């Protein structure tokens, strides 16, 4: 019986994953990373936070990993983005 329950649970998870990707256009993990990087961009524009503070705020403990993810999303390293997009 446990095996049958496990199979049903996996089927529901697979359907959820598939539906999410069809509706949103990306996997849940990709979507979440994009949301985090967009929030990081907003924080960097504000210019009251250092890059390290922003990385920590969006859940990165490693600044290099944050910088790589940010550049993949926005095309610039976080500090360059911050300098270019400072709000007056």
Q: What is the model's pTM? A: 0.81
Give residue-wise pLDDT tens across range 5-60.
Answer: 777 777 888 888 899 899 999 999 999 999 999 999 999 998 789 999 999 999 99
Q: Is 29 exposed, middle or buried (0-12, 13-18, 19+ CB in 10 A)?
A: exposed
Can you give the pLDDT at residue 1? Answer: 59
Instruction: List the chain domain ranges.
Output: 26-84
Q: Is 66 exposed, middle or buried (0-12, 13-18, 19+ CB in 10 A)?
A: buried
CATH number of 26-84: 1.10.10.60
């Amino acid at each position: 019986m446990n095996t049958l329950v496990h199979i049903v649970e996996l089927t529901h998870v697979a359907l959820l994953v598939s539906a999410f990707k069809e509706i949103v256009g990306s996997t849940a993990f990709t979507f979440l990373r994009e949301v985090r990087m967009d929030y990081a961009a907003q924080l960097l524009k504000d210019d009251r936070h250092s890059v390290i503070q922003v990385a920590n705020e969006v859940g990165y403990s490693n600044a290099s990993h944050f910088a790589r993810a940010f550049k993949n999303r926005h095309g610039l390293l976080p500090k360059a983005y911050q300098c270019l997009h400072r709000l007056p």
